[in-house]
């Protein structure tokens, strides 16, 4: 007897995906636990969308910050999710994915971190003053 493995989500989808808490694009899969942002440990769960509007793929990426760590990192380098979770609907096909919507909708109260938004920002270092 053999076990059939169903690959529901392509590697290309994970190459498109980024973490809305810290902006990083690398995720780790821990068997029987889930998929987590490698930088801040925000959990992401992928679900097939009920409605695809004719696109090759329609996926809901559900982010949850219950397991988020790196709280010692400067808060300017991360953005918490409203009520600890958010969802992104992704439409398209490999090399042509696009974000259809966010839930909750971005507003003045919450805006997801964009891919690589904090890449150019360095953490402040101590400056020594010479007398």
* Model pTM score: 0.78
Please give the pLDDT value at position 8: 57
Kindly report whether the peptide bond that precedes residue 50 is cis, defined as omega within 30 degrees of 0: no
**Cβ 47 vs Cβ 62: under 8 Å:** yes
**Cβ 91 vs Cβ 53: under 8 Å:** yes
Which residue stretches of the chain have pLDDT < 70?
1-9, 70-77, 121-131
Question: Which run of H or E residues covers position 44?
Answer: strand 43-48
Please give the pLDDT value at position 122: 56
């Amino acid at each position: 007897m053999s076990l059939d493995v169903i690959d529901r989500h392509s590697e290309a989808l994970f190459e498109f995906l980024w973490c809305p808490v810290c902006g990083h694009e690398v995720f780790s899969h821990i068997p029987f636990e889930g998929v987590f942002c490698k930088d801040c440990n925000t959990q992401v769960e992928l679900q097939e969308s009920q409605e695809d509007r004719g696109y090759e793929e329609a996926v809901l990426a559900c982010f949850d910050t219950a397991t988020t760590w790196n709280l010692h990192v400067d808060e300017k380098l991360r953005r918490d999710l409203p009520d600890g979770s958010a969802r992104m609907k992704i439409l398209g096909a490999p090399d042509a994915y696009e974000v259809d919507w966010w839930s909750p909708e971005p507003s003045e109260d919450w805006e997801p971190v964009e891919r690589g938004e904090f890449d150019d920002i360095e953490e402040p270092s101590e400056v020594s003053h010479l007398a």
